């Protein structure tokens, strides 16, 4: 996986993957820009499945795009969720 940063006004087509993907206490390692990241087992399986079926995809995944430990960031991002979801080409959740 690669991390790409984009401004919302210049967003290429993307898919939103809502973080309803498994028990947050059951995690596995996934690599994002060569950095180890802990994701739920179910999210890792979904990412693997989407990649096999669709090839390269641009995804917005709240569990990865929002620092879940930063309350200020979460609050700011939640305020933008309507825009994030409405501009997506597809929402999986």
User: What is the residue-averaged pLDDT of the chain?
Assistant: 78
Residues of the chain with pLDDT > 90, as a percent, come to 1
How far is Cα 17 from Cα 15, in angstroms, rounded to an integer? Answer: 6
For residue 48, pLDDT over 70 is answered with yes
Give whole-number Cα distances, 36 to 2, 78, 91, in Å.
Answer: 12, 25, 26
pLDDT tier, 84 (very low <50, low <70, confident <90, very high otherwise): confident
Q: Is the pLDDT of residue 74 over 80?
A: yes
39 in Cβ contact with 22 (< 8 Å): no
Mean pLDDT confidence for 23-50: 78
Mean pLDDT throughout 54-69? 78
């Amino acid at each position: 996986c690669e991390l790409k940063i984009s401004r919302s006004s210049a967003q290429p087509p993307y898919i939103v993957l809502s973080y309803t993907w498994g028990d947050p206490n059951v995690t596995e390692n996934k690599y994002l820009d060569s950095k180890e990241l802990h994701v739920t087992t179910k999210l890792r399986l979904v990412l693997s499945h989407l990649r096999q079926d669709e090839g390269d995809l641009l995804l917005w995944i709240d569990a990865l795009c929002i620092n879940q430990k930063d309350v200020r960031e979460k609050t700011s991002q939640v305020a933008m969720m309507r825009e994030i979801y409405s501009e997506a080409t597809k929402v999986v959740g």
